[in-house]
Amino acid sequence: MSYADVAVGQLCADELVLNPAETAARLGTSRDFRHKRVDECLAVLRANMRCRYAYARMPVAVEGDVCDFGFMQVQSRALGRNLGGCAEAYIFAVTLGAQVDRLLMRLAAGSQSDRFITDALASSAAESLCECVSRQLAAGLRCRPRFSPGYGDFSINFQPLVLDRLNAGSYLGITLTDALMMVPSKSITAVMGIEI
Per-residue pLDDT of 77-123, as tens digits, reads 999 999 999 999 999 999 999 999 999 999 999 989 999 999 999 99
End-to-end CA distance of the chain: 28
Average pLDDT, the chain: 94
Query: 5-47, pLDDT tens digit by residue?
Result: 999 999 999 999 999 999 999 999 887 877 889 999 999 999 9
- pLDDT interval class at 1 (50, 70, 90): low
Closest CA to 125 of 94, 164, 104: 94
**Residues in CB range of 54: below 8 A, 6 or more apart:** 6, 7, 8, 9, 92, 93, 166, 167, 168, 171, 172
Residue 145 has pLDDT above 70, yes or no: yes
**Chain center to CA of 145:** 13
Percent of the chain with pLDDT over 70: 99
pLDDT of residue 114: 94
Thinking of the domain 7-195, which architecture would CATH place it in? 3-Layer(aba) Sandwich (3.40)
- Sketch the domain layout of the chain as residue ranges: 7-195
**Lowest model confidence (mean pLDDT) among 18-32, 63-77, 148-162, 164-178:** 18-32
Residue 69 has pLDDT above 80, yes or no: yes
20-27 vs 112-138: helix axis angle to the nearest 10? 150
**Chain center to CA of 90:** 13
pLDDT of residue 125: 97
Confidence (pTM): 0.93
Distances (CA, A) of 143 to 52, 119, 158, 187: 21, 30, 22, 22
